[in-house]
Amino acid sequence: MTKKVTVWHEAPKALQGKVGGNGMEVALKEVPVQPIGMRAFVTFVIPDYCSDCIYCEGTCANLKFNKERKIMIVNQVGCRGCGQCISSCPTGALQQRNTYLGKIDEDFTHLLGKEPAAVPQSCNMCPVVSGEMPDQGNGPNSVRLLCSGRYEASLALEALTKGCKGVVVVGCLFKDFPFERNKVATEDKLRFSKLLMMRLGIDPDKVQHVNKYVTEGGVRECIQRLSGA
Amino acid sequence: MKGEKAPVEADTGVDPLVMRTNVLYCLDCGKCTGTCPVTAVKPGFSPRRLVEMTLMAKPEEIATNNYIWDCLTCGKCSNYCPTDVRFSDYIKGLRARALEQGGFSVMNHGGITYSIARAMAKGDLKQKRLEWVGGAKVTVAEKGDVLLFTGCMVYFDLIFEPLHIDGAMTVLGNAVSIMNRAGIVPAVMADEVCCGHDELWSGEEGTFAKLMEKNIQAIKRTGAKKIVTVCPECASTIKKYYKEMGGLEIEVVHISQFIDDLLKGGKIKLRLAKGKVTFQDPCRLAQHMEEVDAPRNVIAAVNPGGLVEMRDSKELASCCGTALWRNCDSFSEGMRGDRLRQAKETGADLVITACPKCQIHFSCTLSGKCEEKGIDPNLKVKDLVTYVAENME
């Protein structure tokens, strides 16, 4: 079943005025989408920031460099929002609805008021979290990224710097991963963040990756272990 | 940069930032716009128009003004200003205000460098930042007269692994091996934190103050009388702002100046190199520290007659195009492309830089699609320190 909805309702306040004419056009384009799910994370380009490096083109078939307009064009019908292109973008020109930097910052500020022990990072539809703790999976007590491949060391560092005791990265089972490429990316990024934290002198075990069957559990214990409860 | 002596701050009711940076003296002559490397590639950006725009602007207008984040703060404009307007400092102040008002600018690389600096400023971390010493087989000490400030190289190793840049082990190891050859055992600090340059110039003054506090205490513990840095950004920050804001009275030199002194004293013997090379002036060294001769003397000692200057060189040289891990976009890519095309025009096949960040930025551009932009992908980028160390007897 498909339905026509506006993908981008309004530019986030932090990005208002940053998105140029072309970007707005791309972002506001109405596309046939499924009403819920991955569509919430569709990617768009801020042309002002695009440096034509085409690093992102190698990560996904839905990205093409438009030579006439000299910007990357995201095929928003095909984009499922896995976020690999965003991670590959050195300049920050690619952004994703719901996970742009300002939003994540807001999330952390929100969490700080509640003094969280650990921040689970998972997507809206996470089978692991929602199965185990239905109240938390979509609730405000987590930073939602579509895919664990979109996890970044900077997010974990920010969370730890802002007072969280740990970060739990929750993602799909590797044998049932919807985005093939992101399997490698997830492992790569977790490895990078552990190396970075070791060099910084932060205990690398403060970032935990949980991708098990719901029945096996793990998220709740992980949060309890990290918060020292 | 000009303007070493601070202007008198009288209580005139004028905004102290405006008074401090002489912005009211702007004649609207446009010399800044004529020399600005950003204006050359980015339509709409002009220092003098930006001054006009922001002088009477309300705070919330400053927060939404995108142009204040486009400035590279390279300081080229200040060198040409007839009335000594300190535009870079003015932009620095504006950015701090913009951040207070909820201003926002997209950071490159997902903001990882800023996250690292904030983590360092917040916590009392036990960093493992001296791993390169073992790999490079050099001698360092905990205390000593000469202190080598290592900077962020050890973290760039991890972040920019795919670019295959000369990392901490190469650049820092070579710097120490040059010093060792001259009979100097430099001190290095295990509890050093980021110098705070990026935070200072992007307006995060709170983070900068914390980082500075930690560094000054660590520097005092080593008992150093001279600080040597491999990065011009660290050098200019420690030299000027640690002194102004933290009261640190120690001589600070960039490694190119240090090697120049060693060579003049005949402490290092060199094997002469061949081939044509060209030199990219880093903005913090050429404009902020006004040092253009030392690196050239060093190159001339290694490779007499081999240095060919680019069309824009010394004080006229433009920045590599990205500062503070912030302004990378198609325009800064254009600046780098222009710079690399100039390098090719000289006939050189090696671009020597004196700044790790320039090296990273050029390597990034060279790893992309070069042919379309008219850049020779066979150009090599090398740090000055590595160039000297490779040709040492």
Q: Is B369 on the interface with A (CB under 8 A)?
A: yes
Model pLDDT, residue A18: 43
Residue where one domain finishes, among candidates A80, A96, A112: A96
Q: Is B58 on the interface with A (CB under 8 A)?
A: no
In order of start, what are the domains of chain B with their CATH numbers? Answer: 16-100 (1.10.1060.10), 108-261 (3.40.50), 270-390 (3.40.50)
Q: Is A66 on the interface with B (CB under 8 A)?
A: no
Nearest CB to A90; choose among B108, B115, B330: B108
Least confident residue range of A96-110, B47-61, B284-298, B331-345: A96-110
For residues A126 and B390, the model is more confident at B390
For residues A55 and A83, state if they share a domain: yes
DSSP, residue by residue, B2-61: ---SPPP----SS-HHHHHTTGGG-----HHHHH-HHHHHSTT--HHHHHHHHHT--HHH
Closest by CA to B197, choosing from B296, B316, B70, B285, is B285
Q: Is B368 on the interface with A (CB under 8 A)?
A: yes
For residues A129 and A67, state if they share a domain: no
For residues A52 and A145, state if they share a domain: no
Which residues in chain B have their CB less than 8 angstroms from residue A50's CB?
A: 329-330
**Mean of pLDDT values over B310-315:** 88
Q: Is A11 on the interface with B (CB under 8 A)?
A: no
pLDDT tens for each residue of B337-385: 899 999 999 999 999 999 999 999 999 888 877 787 888 888 999 999 9
Give the percent of chain B with pLDDT over 90.
48
Residue where one domain finishes, among candidates A96, A120, A140: A96
Model pLDDT, residue A27: 37
**Mean of pLDDT values over B292-306:** 93
DSSP, residue by residue, B304-371: TT-B---SS-GGGPPP-S--TTT--SHHHHHHHHHHHHHHHHTT-SEEEES-HHHHHHHHHHHTS--G
Beta carbons of B364 and A49 less than 8 Å apart: no
pLDDT tens for each residue of A129-177: 656 665 554 444 566 667 777 788 887 888 888 777 888 887 778 877 7
Q: What is the mean pLDDT of chain B?
A: 88
Least confident residue range of A49-63, A87-101, A191-205: A87-101
For residues A190 and A86, state if they share a domain: no
For residues A138 and A221, state if they share a domain: yes
Could you tell me the pLDDT band of residue B216, with boundaries at 50, 70 and 90?
Answer: very high
Q: Is B110 on the interface with A (CB under 8 A)?
A: yes
Beta carbons of B329 and A93 less than 8 Å apart: yes
Least confident residue range of B9-13, B229-233, B245-249: B9-13
For residues A60 and A172, state if they share a domain: no
Bridge-based pairing state of the strands B251-254 and B226-229? parallel
Least confident residue range of A89-93, B188-192, B246-250, B314-318: A89-93
Q: Which domain, by its residues, includes A49? A: 3-96
CATH assignment of the domain containing A187: 3.40.50
Model pLDDT, residue B315: 84
Least confident residue range of B73-77, B111-115, B171-175, B370-374: B370-374
Q: How far is A154 from chain B (nearest CA, A)?
A: 5
For residues A144 and B172, the model is more confident at B172
User: Does position B97 have pLDDT exceeding 70, yes or no?
Assistant: yes
Nearest CB to A91; choose among B64, B125, B328: B328
Q: How many Cα atoms sit within 13 Å of A125 on the Cβ side?
A: 12
Model pLDDT, residue A33: 36
Q: Is A184 on the interface with B (CB under 8 A)?
A: no
CB-based burial of residue A31 (10 Å sphere; 0-12 exposed, 13-18 middle, 19+ buried)? middle
User: How far is the C-alpha of A3 from the C-alpha of B191, rounded, in Å?
Assistant: 57
Domains held by chain A: number? 2
For residues A109 and A196, state if they share a domain: yes
Beta carbons of A161 and B111 less than 8 Å apart: no
For residues A112 and A219, state if they share a domain: yes
User: Does position A223 have pLDDT exceeding 80, yes or no?
Assistant: no
User: Does position A115 have pLDDT exceeding 70, yes or no?
Assistant: no
Model pLDDT, residue A39: 58
For residues A168 and A58, state if they share a domain: no
> Which residue of chain B comes nearest to A89, CA vs CA?
B109
Q: How far is A168 from chain B (nearest CA, A)?
A: 18
Beta carbons of A200 and B127 less than 8 Å apart: yes
For residues A205 and A116, state if they share a domain: yes
Which residues in chain B have their CB less than 8 angstroms from residue A200's CB?
A: 116, 119-120, 125, 127
Nearest CB to A14; choose among B104, B123, B128: B104
Residue where one domain finishes, among candidates A45, A63, A96: A96
CATH assignment of the domain containing A46: 3.30.70.20
User: How far is the C-alpha of A87 from the C-alpha of A97, rounded, in Å?
Assistant: 14
Nearest CB to B119; choose among A54, A90, A157: A157
User: Does position B77 have pLDDT exceeding 70, yes or no?
Assistant: yes
Model pLDDT, residue A29: 35
For residues A91 and A122, state if they share a domain: no
**Mean of pLDDT values over B297-308:** 92
- Identity of the highest mean pLDDT range in A68-72, A200-204, B3-7: A200-204
For residues A111 and A208, state if they share a domain: yes
